[in-house]
Amino acid sequence: MSYKRLLTIQDISCVGQCSLTVALPILSACGHETAILPSAVLSTHTSGFTGFTFRDLVEDMPAIGAHWVKEGIRFAAVYTGYLGSVGQVDYVRRIMSTTLEDGGLRIVDPAMADNGKLYPLFGQDYVEAMKNLCFESDILLPNITEACYLTGMEYRTEYDEGYIRDLLGALRAAGAKTVVLTGVSYEPTTTGVVVMEGDEVTYYRHRRLSQSCHGTGDVYASAFVGALMNGIPAATAAAVAADYTVACMENTVGDPNHTYGVKFEPVLGRLIERIATERA
Ligand code: PXL
């Protein structure tokens, strides 16, 4: 595997198997040195728990970024997920522009909405701030809800290929480059991911489980970045990440004691093997 230094910026949900507690082990397993910048610390994630604590770490960001610049630290990619507040977005954009190597990749998972709704702590001001970060990125990984918030298109639960084409067109018109659109399902038993790179659009269809699980967006994005940074093309990395995410869900559904995230750790070996195969 090629050894890359990456930075991922997202929150620490202490319990809940999402964000950094997922991204760090997955990226490390994919063979990458993974630096982190925690955006916030929460006792748990915000979906399905009540009474969670939340500490915004925005005040630490400028000094951390300045120290890295002073030390000459550079990253081959910066991958962002859940940020804690509107005020963080401009610092994150600055850290990207000061710490990325020449040709380094800005990879953005908007991580702000699902199932037609924004996550609990976010409002329209957060969406507006995220548009800047998203449309500056080299690779954007929204789900359909996030793509709708970013473009102003109507969110639909039932749609056809024309709707998805329009959504991709609207993202591109707003400035998106490569887009990995997740959760695109044209029939009840399958779902998939659409990758738009330049004029090329591919669709990877896979099994759809009857139950959804929390944190799979973070598992997916982390596995995608891990594969991509091993030199695997985006469309293949999207399929690798989809198959790994399905494996994590299959390993979890049916366990009544595990409702807040997916048991991604026992199947990490499969991701490592698959990346080795795809690179060969
Ligand atoms: O998985 C996305 C995510 C990350 N971090 C926090 C969240 C969520 C989704 O709800 O609440 C804190």
Quick check: 107 and 225 in contact, CB under 8 A?
A: yes
Q: Facing residues of 101 across strands?
A: none
Quick check: 247 and 167 in contact, CB under 8 A?
A: no
Three-class secondary structure of residue 217 per DSSP: helix
Residue 247: what pLDDT? 98
Distance 145 CA to ligand 1 centre (A): 15
The residue whose two tokens read 């480059």 is 177
Question: Low-confidence residues of the chain, pLDDT below 70?
Answer: 1
Q: Which atom of ligand 1 is nearest to the CA of 215?
A: 1
Q: Facing residues of 6 across strands?
A: 34, 77
Pocket test for ligand 1, best of 11, 22, 55, 112 (most atoms within 8 A of CB): 11
**Cβ contacts of residue 72 below 8 Å, gap of 6+?**
none
Residue 63: what pLDDT? 98
Start-end of H helices in 159-213: 161-174
Distance 277 CA to ligand 1 centre (A): 31
Instruction: Pick the closest to residue 120 from 40, 192, 174 (CA basis).
Output: 40
Quick check: 125 and 86 in contact, CB under 8 A?
A: yes
Residue 102: what pLDDT? 98
Residue 2: what pLDDT? 74
Q: Which atom of ligand 1 is nearest to the CA of 81?
A: 4
